[in-house]
Amino acid sequence: MGKSHEYLNENLLLFFGKMYDTIVKNKFQVFFQTINRIQRGIFMYFDTHAHYDDEQFETDREQVFDLIHESGVELVMNPACDIASGKAAVSYADKYSWVYAAVGIHPQSVLEMMPGDIEEVKKMSSHPKVRAIGEIGLDYHYGADTKKEQIELFYEQMRLADMLDLPVIVHDREAHADCIDAVRAFPNVRGVFHCYSGSLETAKELIRRGWYISFTGALTFKNARRAAEVAKWLPDDRIMVETDCPYMAPVPLRGKRCDSSMLQYTVGVLAEIRGISPGKAAELTLKNGINFFDIDL
Q: Which chain residues interact with Zn ion by CB under 5 A?
A: 244
Smaller CB separation from Zn ion, 43 or 46: 46
78 C-beta neighbours (distance < 10 Å), count = 26
Residue closer to Zn ion (CB basis): 102 or 183: 102
Q: By C-beta, is 83 or 271 nearer to Zn ion?
A: 83
Complex with Zn ion: residue 20 or 142, whichever CB lies closer: 142
Which residue lies nearer to Zn ion by CB, 79 or 274? 79
| 177-188: burial string, b at 16+ Cβ within 10 Å, e else | ebbbebbeebee
**Least Å distance between CB 131 and Zn ion?**
15
Provide the minimum distance between the beta carbon of 84 and Zn ion in the complex, in angstroms, as a whole number: 15
Contact status, residue 204 vs residue 238, Cβ threshold 8 Å: no
Of 43 and 244, which CB lies nearer to Zn ion in the complex structure? 244
In whole angstroms, the minimum distance from the beta carbon of 197 to Zn ion comes to 13
Which residue, 74 or 244, is less far from Zn ion as judged by CB?
244
Q: Which residue is nearest to Zn ion (CB)?
A: 244
Residue 133 beta carbon to Zn ion: minimum distance, rounded to whole angstroms = 14
Residue 48 CB, nearest distance to Zn ion (Å)?
A: 10
In the complex, what is the shortest distance from the CB of residue 32 to Zn ion, in angstroms, rounded to a whole number?
32
In whole angstroms, the minimum distance from the beta carbon of 102 to Zn ion comes to 10
Cα–Cα distance between 209 and 117 in angstroms, integer?
Answer: 29
Closest alpha carbon to 95 in 72, 47, 54, 61: 61
